[in-house]
Structure 1
């Protein structure tokens, strides 16, 4: 079996389903799959499955329980403060964005009827009419002004403050029109506004405990770190309202328990499973795999401003010490693509294909560690189940380190509180970054000198200036050149070790239908509740 056949996923199924909806003939569909490395007999099976999926009509009604993998008492219904998948699921259920990124990665309109600009600096936002919040208030431009300005207020603590700082002014032109003026041109603004943090909240909101948004569900119960219960919004502004009557969402931190809850029928969706679980699930009739190829990754972060990462060569040494092939093949069972210590995957149009791939080279790592004077010292690496597969990654690093005289101790900590107590703060630790649609967003969130999520304390004035230059360019060739150089700067200069891009694996009940992959993350970019339905 070829790698292409072995790695055929739900994302590829969705591609075939979309082609069917566009009217492609059976011959065209089989030819498309053949070009992708799929044998004729396998292609026929896939085609049958896709045809059945397209033909299936959503069923209204039903209540489901879904389990994420991480939760804490810091869980929030404030979109600006959302920091993990559990927050994103809730915010996607209760609120809407001005724009939305669909399964094909295209930026489409949601609350906005249009967002237009002639110079990429001043943008005119026309809002849809007839949209109301859960409390009955009509959506107006004042809500847009308030929502966007919140990200600029340091007191709010917005997770995308670094991104929002490019906004110079937001003002209401009339009730249905807002004007956004940027500090400098940015052709990506409509895409940026599709991020989960930029959900629109009602003007003047200070109490977010009610989840008062314009979204497909209304809040019935929210206990941070425990659970949330939602009911279908019968007054939802979209013509097609949610199919489900409601859902309960909570976290089961232990993966085995999460998987067993699905197999026993206690839940209908188990999010973000480690590929090692596939052995149990692949041939089990109680579960279907929902696999999404994303740009998500788990990364080892070596703080450049703390020992031992403040010594020259230490971060680089870890980049040579991590065995990417072992992580891809053994830890992730092939459900990954080799990465090169920067966050842009090879399917992104701005990917730097010229950058030489860093290989596993423990002897070179040993030399770098020896020059830094850390051989023989104990290096503590903080990991938790909250950062997907990080415990397995840590073991791979530990085993390689033991062979070159570097002592690595794995500091295993609880998932609860990991993101607030250890991520970014510990000297050597793991992160887990969800896919983002543009290089500008990734670089602004993670590598700009003042980025809120600057995981390794990377600072470069040159990088910051290049980021601003590329942002407003309409010349795509020049933009690609700049982004390519920035990828090299991150790969060689930042303290992030990004070994692979991970495919996301969710497991769902065979009765749960309607899910298609989305580039913003697993669980259909965290919007599964709006689109899922239960088979009768």
Structure 2
């Protein structure tokens, strides 16, 4: 072995053995000069020492740190904000539920099912499921988690008086049996292999048995609720008895909503907030040049859609709905409205990220002349049609303006009615004849179709009704034959695209902007802000 070989071998082994020493020195506040002295004393050459310092510094920066408090801002809120997971409908609700409660399962960044409060979720036939809970999990009030809490939490979704947004999905949970304090059995009305995924949805957070008061939150989550003012803010403080080791990192988090996107970005730049959710594409170029800001991009099936109610004029005329689908210029929306942070969609909710996506279903071309003929056939050409839009539904105002301009060129006037974000979801969404929605990602076609398109779907935005569609969904849900399931879902996507009154022009890439000091934010298939669960996992790097 030559002297050079020996030196190389010694340095390599030194770095393997003592990288942690340099990282610890950095953690104690050592300067670059201090580190060079440390390396020189160990006989490491300057070139090798620089590489060691770079690696150790990166490792130190990636190491979560405890302490600190942040304020984060979403884009919509309402006086109807709730701490009841069953009634959650806005991103602000989801963030708070993820902070204060836990689910039985959750989806990781690769959309794989992981266990949370459940130690295991097992079934031999996809109909009878055995759930075993983790031991020694406690609620914020000190009560130990048992199967009674799980059964109560899941069963109340089936009670119509609760008003659960997951009522339709929960109806398949036919019976619940307590085996002991840690084991329960759920029997479904029909086989559903997706149950572990369904249990990862925000609505299926676990609350304490008998809970009816949601003026505060008593969960098992990473933060305890200190303050909750609907439509204003919430404040959570670290749960010192949290069952997940070393989590959370933050001492506290305040969550608010700033509906105006410009104001939200300015609040981030001024240091008033550490995270600005759902940044508009217009702001991204500006933010990309600022060193103190980091952008987190998530492409997971989020979309803003134009809804036409089929049970009200003018949507009760199919030719009007079809004409509108040809008048929506998807290329312009993707390029100009979304600044290329979008993928053109085909008027159905299953995104290209999903293994069941129908690649053969093409988006409708922009064809204003064909749209004009269909409007004439419907007897509405020349009539002024209101389109309700709001900043509450991401980029909906800009999308409405694109439609309005295209309509003006063929003699089809559309009146864009801009309404406030506060109260939009309770006063206009699902109610106005023509209006916009904004749907957060869901991990399976079954969940999307159950929430949005079956005859009893709680969020049936266009009032689409099809007995055939309902039966097909049940069939797909129960089969373990993947090829058959894909075939059914393909046809269902075609049915929605052709017959429902929901126009989905693009899938939006969600971009959150955050202080460069805020670390740990990762993409998640359930949406931006780490699937709304960011509070538990982020930390401050001062």
**TM-score where L is the length of structure 2:** 0.89
Runs of 4+ in 1 over 6 A off after TM superposition: none
Cross-structure match for 2:273: 267
Match of 2:213 in 1: 207
Alignment of 1:374-389 (within 5 A): 374-389=380-395
Which of 437, 459, 469 is the aligned partner of 2:465?
459
Tell me if the contact between 2:69 and 2:251 (Cα under 8 Å) persists in the aligned partners.
yes
Please report how far the alpha carbon of residue 408 of structure 1 lies from its aligned counterpart in structure 2 after TM superposition. 0.2
CA drift of 1:53 comes to: 7.2
SS of structure 1 residue aligned to 2:416: strand
**1:225 alignment partner, one of 206, 228, 231:** 231
Q: Distance in 1 between matches of 2:176 and 2:437?
A: 33
Query: What root-mean-square deviation, in Å, do the aligned CA atoms of Structure 1 and Structure 2 show?
Result: 1.4
The Cα of 1:316 is off from its aligned counterpart by 1.2
CA contact (8 A) 2:300 2:353 kept: no
What is the rounded CA distance, in whole Å, between the counterparts of 1:350 and 1:175 in structure 2?
A: 38
Query: 1:121, 1:183 within 8 Å by CA — same for their partners in 2?
Result: yes
Secondary structure, counterpart of 2:387 in structure 1: strand
Q: Distance in 2 between matches of 1:431 and 1:449?
A: 18
Q: Secondary structure at the match of 2:318?
A: coil
In structure 2, what is the equivalent of residue 431 of structure 1?
A: 437
Cα distance in 2 between the residues matched to 1:347 and 1:269: 26
Give unpaired runs (5+ residues) of structure 1.
1-47
Match of 1:171 among 174, 177, 202: 177
Question: 1:321 touches 1:365 (CA, 8 Å); kept in 2?
Answer: yes
The answer as to 2:486 corresponding to 1:480 is: yes
> Residue 124 of structure 1: SS of its match in structure 2?
strand
Q: Distance in 2 between matches of 1:159 and 1:115?
A: 23
Q: Alignment partner for residue 80 of structure 1, among 68, 77, 86?
A: 86
Distance in 2 (CA, whole Å) between partners of 1:136 and 1:236 is 11
Distance 2:362 2:108 in 1: 32
Question: Which residue pairs with 1:245 in the alignment?
Answer: 251
2:426 match: secondary structure:
helix
Spell out the pairing of 1:135-150 with structure 2 (5 A cutoff). Answer: 135-150=141-156
Which of 377, 384, 391 aligns to 2:397? It is 391
Residue aligning to 2:294: 288
Q: Secondary structure at the match of 1:410?
A: strand
- The secondary structure found in structure 1 opposite 2:402 is helix
Q: Which of 435, 448, 451 matches 1:442?
A: 448
* Equivalenced residues, count: 489
Equivalent pair of 2:61/2:541 in contact (CA under 8 Å):
no
Q: Is the Cα contact below 8 Å between 2:140 and 2:218 reproduced in 1?
A: yes
Structure 2 gap ranges (5+): 1-53
Match of 1:44 in 2: none
Distance 2:438 2:394 in 1: 7
| Residue 22 of structure 2: aligned partner | none
Report the CA distance between 1:381 and its aligned residue.
Answer: 0.4
Report Cα offsets for 1:101-133 as digits up to 9, x if no partner.
Answer: 011110111000001111111100000001000
Look up the match of 1:534: 540
Match of 1:522 in 2: 528
Q: Deviation per CA, 1:225-244, whole angstroms, max 9, x where unpaired?
A: 01000100000011121000
Q: Which residue of 2 aligns with 1:19?
A: none
Q: Which has the larger radius of gyration?
A: 2
1:494-513 matches, cutoff 5 A: 494-513=500-519
1:43 matched to which residue of 2?
Answer: none
CA distance in 1, matches of 2:230, 2:379: 45
Please name the residue that 2:369 is paired with: 363
- How far does residue 318 in structure 1 lie from its aligned partner after superposition? 1.1
Measure, in 2, the Cα distance between the counterparts of 1:129 and 1:231.
24
Taking structure 1 as the reference length, the TM-score comes to: 0.90
**2:190 aligned to 184, 190, 196, which one?**
184
Shift in Å, 1:355: 1.7
Question: In structure 1, what is the Cα distance between the partners aligned to 2:291 and 2:404?
Answer: 37
Task: Give the counterpart of 2:418 among 412, 423, 446.
Answer: 412
Q: Are positions 1:255 and 2:261 aligned together? A: yes
Preserved contact between residue 398 and residue 407 of structure 1 (Cα < 8 Å): yes
* Residues 1:197 and 1:216: Cα distance change in structure 2 (over 3 Å): same
Q: State yes or no: 1:110 paired with 2:116.
A: yes
Deviations 1:353-387 (A, max 9, x none): 12233111111111111100101101000000000
The question of 1:95 aligning with 2:101 is answered: yes
2:118–2:134 Cα contact (<8 Å) kept: yes
Q: Residue 155 of structure 1: SS of its match in structure 2?
A: helix
String of CA shifts for 1:218-268, please: whole Å, max 9, x gaps. 011110001000100000011121000001001011111110000000100
Correspondence for 1:131 among 131, 134, 137: 137
Distance 1:449 1:52 in 2: 53
Q: Is the 8 A contact 1:148 1:170 kept in 2?
A: no
